[in-house]
Structures are given as structure tokens and as C-alpha cells.
Structure 1
């Protein structure tokens, strides 16, 4: 499919979802993420009734205070339906993994459900699920030791991706920290976004750290030259673009797609999110999925956007709660 046809599909699916969940008070960014998950999988038909039925099934099976009773059920349903032939069976597998994560001292909540989905998608690549989960926790603890104030549960999903290939936690931490410090010296702002970027770059162990840094700096410049603002929220997708090795035409297409989304009535108030979606759609439709690096990137792409989306929704919710509390006082 062309980029334009995927954008059209994205808008159609979003409008259908918005109508279907009209009275459910679902956060808009959750609907946007769920719609995008379907849009970039053109071979998966979207049926709004079937989707809502799966969401209801997930909610019904969840415990009383689970995030799956709320907005999280939509993104989980979208990922399960677009990735697996039997979404309901894989939902139960995901729940078992989530229970194992909680048993291993992961925090209960949306981030751990995202992590359970990552582990479910990687389960065929590991021999022992128990060891995989323990390695994920060890990597997360390593992250928190280096950066205690900016590491949170939203780093769980990337820790799970890194745990597939990296068995030496100390070596991995040195690699992540090298990316973090070198990029900070080259104009990237220190903080959670840069840490997230450093994690993504560490997924590539086929190239030297200096080459990866050079490609990341080039990707940032290409992003800016295409006319787009480069903010902290763009750091992770910049890393994916650097690993993918896209040329300047790729960035021009991202910019054009972002502008297209900004002009559409359904999306015109979501400019920051639109730029992330534009990058996702462009990479999915433009890059060759048979290239080994692209295969690795595709495994990370939805995880990165899901983790970012969860963090953005949490931040928006926290802001709303703070505003309500302030007005109440």
C-alpha cells in the first residue's frame, strides 16, 4: 500500500472507533494508537463490532482495578488482533506472562501489560520464559542504577527487547551509557527521552557505537532539514530511523505525511503525535521488510510507540488530575 492509502485507512478506522466508543470516555490518544496499529497492517481487515467485542472480552476477564478495565484494553486488543490468528488464546498467554512479571516484582499497571505483549511476541526466541523475565528485570535495575530519577516502569518494554539478545547486563549498561553521554555532548538533551533513544540504539549490535552515533546525528539533521521540529518526543523514532538507514527522501515523505495528517479534521489538534505516526507509516510502507536490520526495527517499532503513547497518556492524566485538584482547592 502507498503512504496515502495507509493514511486514508488510518483516518477511516479512527473515525469508526471514535463512533463505536463515543460514550466510553476513552482517551483520544489511545484511539489514535489503536487505529494506527490496524492501519499499518493492511492485510488485517478492521471490523468495529469485532474489535469492540474483543475489548469487552478483555475487560470482562480483567480484575476490578486492572488498566484492562479502562483504556488499555483497546491497545491490547488492537495488537492482539493484528499480530495473532487467535487473539483470545494469546490474551490468556499475555495474562500469564503479566502474572509472572508481577511475581518477579514488576509494578502492576499498563507498562507491565505492554511488557507482557513484548515478551509474548519474543517467546519463540527464548528457551526459558522465567530466565527471560529475570534478565529483563536485571536490565531495568541496571538502567535505574545509572539514572534513578528518569527510569520508570515505561522503560520495562525496551528492557524486554534488549533482554532477547543481551545476556551480559554490565556490558549492555556500558553501551547504553556511552550512547547517552556522547549524544548529550552533541546537542541531545539529557533526560528520559535521551535514555529511551540510548536503549533503542543498543538494539543494534552489528555496528560500532561510533557509527551508530554518526547515523543518529545524521538522522536528526535530515529530520530538521525536512522542515520538522525536533523535540524530545522525537528522539526514539530518530533512533529507529538511524538504525533503518533511510535516505533524505524518507524524511521528506515523513514531513509530507505529517503535514497531510495535520490538515485532516480528525487529527489537526495532534501535531506532535502526527509526526510520530507519519514516521511509523512511512517506515512501514517504504523500507524493505526483508532486510535484516528492518526486521529488527519492525520488532521494535510498535513497542516504542506503545511505550511512548502510554507515557503520554499517563502524563496527560496526571495533568488533568492536578488541574482538578488545583481547582478544587
Structure 2
């Protein structure tokens, strides 16, 4: 299987040219381009700019909506909703409601609001979703007080929306966290994110899920792919999508093709992250139901990773996670 990277690179070039005076960063540019590719939507520059401007108008002075996040949010709504302007208004309404339920101000709460808009059961009151998400978040924080932060909101919301008791879910997350930490992955927020993602697998028992993740780690190491905390969620995505199968040859080829592009040549982490996403996209072409589920998961990981990367750059760190 050869992963085609040219379509996403073509869109990347279009977006980069369009935003050349905005300086959103490589992560946002690649994220925006890949959303169109993953959903098979053509890039419409006029609609994209119009919605990005509408997003900006919704934000207060220090709001993430005034910053580069507006571009990835606009791309997300344009490629995943039939009425993106109405969806934007609803996301802002849900964000303001979540703030009343003690969610912190920032990008992660907007991502959570977007997930609730697209996935939440409309018969369940928002209050219940908010309370369950906060309860799950608090459970995570009790296990890892120095790791858990607002970037964990989106996956907490995604997990709670699947229903069921929260305490067994918290223990399941911890089982995966400890299992992968024993395999010498760095204890970090990214490892916690990995364990959250593995908990989305409801097709296999816990031991098989962990075995699939461990297999992906071994494939990754044997292929001598760069392994940093920012890549841990990618290992989880592979375990979710392909089980224990080895697709690292395809990933390496896709990463190499991405890094041949002059705008990505010196990027250390984003090309590999997106090579995994594109490989999964190709792998699942004939798995319609599974693919639909994974697309939403991929979006969440993209948003969460982008939030973490932006925070790391602000702190003067290229990539990484807190340990604890």
C-alpha cells in the first residue's frame, strides 16, 4: 500500500499561501489541510476565510477565537457540518455553558464544545454531559495530579458520551497507562492521552487492547521511527485502527514524502504525526463504519496535540510532556 500525500500537500500549499501574513504555524497548516483530505472535501478558500473571520468576530480580546485556532476550527466545521455558520453559533453557546460549569477558558473547552455539538445525545441534558465530563476529569486528576490539565477535557467528554459507569472507566484508563509505562514510555500527559484513546476500543478486551498497543510500539522501534511523547497518541491510533498489524513501512514512506516538501523539510514531529493519520486513512478505506468513528477520534487528537504543542512552544520547549 502506497499512501498518497500529494493531495494534502497541495491543500497545505493553498492554505499556506492564503495565510502567509497570518503566521499560524506548521501544525495548524497541516491540521487544516489534512481535515479536508481525510473527509474528501475540496478546499474552498473563499468559504474558509469567511468562516475564519466569523470565528474571529465571536471572540473577545484574549479569546483563542482571535488566534490561529480559528483556522483549524473553521476547517473542522466546514468539513464536518452541513451548516457551518449555525454550527459555529452553537459551539460558542455550548462553550459559554461549559464555562458556567467550571470548565477553564481556552482552546480545549472550545474543542469540547465542538465535540458535544457533533456527538452528544440531544436527549441528554447538557448539565449531565458537563457533570460527567468534569467527574471523569477529576478522576483522572486524582490519579495524575501533575499531568492532568484542561487539554484532557475533549477526550474526557468523548469517553463520557459513550455512557456507562465512570469509575470502571477511570480504572481502565489507568490500566493502559501503567501497562505502557512499564514498557518504558515516559510518564507524561501524552501517555495519559494515549491511555484515554485506548479506552475508546470497545471491540476487544483490555489485555488484547494493551497487546495491540505494545505491538505497535515494537513495530515503531524496529522501524527506527522517531519516538517522543508527542507520538504516543499516534501509537494508540494505530492500535485502534489496525490492531497488531505492522504498517510502519507505509508510515515511513509517507513521512519521507511529506518531508521532501520544502515547507516541511526541517519539521521534526508534525510530518510523522500526519503520516500516521494518512496511513490510517488509507488503511480504513474499505471499513466505512470503523472509519467514521476514527475520523472523530483523529480530529480530537489533532486538536489536543495542537493545544499541547502551542503550550510547549510558549514555554520554550519544542515538544514534550510533564513527567509524574
TM-score, normalised to structure 1, is 0.90
- 1:156 counterpart residue number: 153
Deviation of 1:26 after TM superposition, in Å, equals: 2.2
- 1:38 counterpart residue number: 36
- 1:94 counterpart residue number: 91
> Cα–Cα, structure 1 residues 296 and 126, in superposed 2: closer, same or farther, change >3 Å?
farther
User: For 1:194 and 1:25, how far apart are their aligned partners in 2?
Assistant: 30
User: For 2:253 and 2:231, how far apart are their aligned partners in 1?
Assistant: 16
2:181 aligned with 1:184? yes
User: For 1:130 and 1:304, how far apart are their aligned partners in 2?
Assistant: 24
> Cα–Cα, structure 1 residues 207 and 313, in superposed 2: closer, same or farther, change >3 Å?
same
User: Do the aligned partners of 1:59 and 1:69 also contact (CA within 8 Å) in 2?
Assistant: yes
Matches within 5 A, 1:95-134: 95-124=92-121, 127-134=124-131
Q: 1:17 aligns with which of 15, 18, 43?
A: 15
Q: 1:237 aligns with which of 234, 249, 270?
A: 234
More helix by share: 1
2:308 aligned with 1:311? yes
Deviation of 1:224 after TM superposition, in Å, equals: 2.3
- 1:63 counterpart residue number: 60
User: Do the aligned partners of 1:154 and 1:307 also contact (CA within 8 Å) in 2?
Assistant: yes
User: Do the aligned partners of 2:3 and 2:279 also contact (CA within 8 Å) in 1?
Assistant: yes
> Cα–Cα, structure 1 residues 313 and 63, in superposed 2: closer, same or farther, change >3 Å?
same
Higher relative contact order (CA 8 A, sep 6+): 2
Structure 1 segments unaligned to the other structure (5+ residues): 321-329
> Cα–Cα, structure 1 residues 289 and 59, in superposed 2: closer, same or farther, change >3 Å?
farther
Deviation of 1:259 after TM superposition, in Å, equals: 0.9
User: For 1:293 and 1:212, how far apart are their aligned partners in 2?
Assistant: 16
Deviation digits for residues 43-71 of structure 1 (CA, Å, limit 9, x no counterpart): x1112122111111111122222110111
Matches within 5 A, 1:221-236: 221-236=218-233
Structure 2 segments unaligned to the other structure (5+ residues): 318-324
Q: Which runs of 4+ in 1 moved over 4 A?
A: 246-249, 291-294
User: For 1:46 and 1:103, how far apart are their aligned partners in 2?
Assistant: 36
Greater displacement, 33-42 / 92-101 = 33-42
User: For 1:51 and 1:77, how far apart are their aligned partners in 2?
Assistant: 7
Deviation of 1:230 after TM superposition, in Å, equals: 2.2
Q: Secondary structure at the match of 1:107?
A: coil
> Cα–Cα, structure 1 residues 126 and 241, in superposed 2: closer, same or farther, change >3 Å?
farther
TM-score, normalised to structure 2, is 0.92
2:266 aligned with 1:269? yes
Q: Secondary structure at the match of 1:3?
A: coil
Deviation of 1:151 after TM superposition, in Å, equals: 0.4
> Cα–Cα, structure 1 residues 187 and 249, in superposed 2: closer, same or farther, change >3 Å?
closer
Q: 1:28 aligns with which of 26, 29, 35?
A: 26
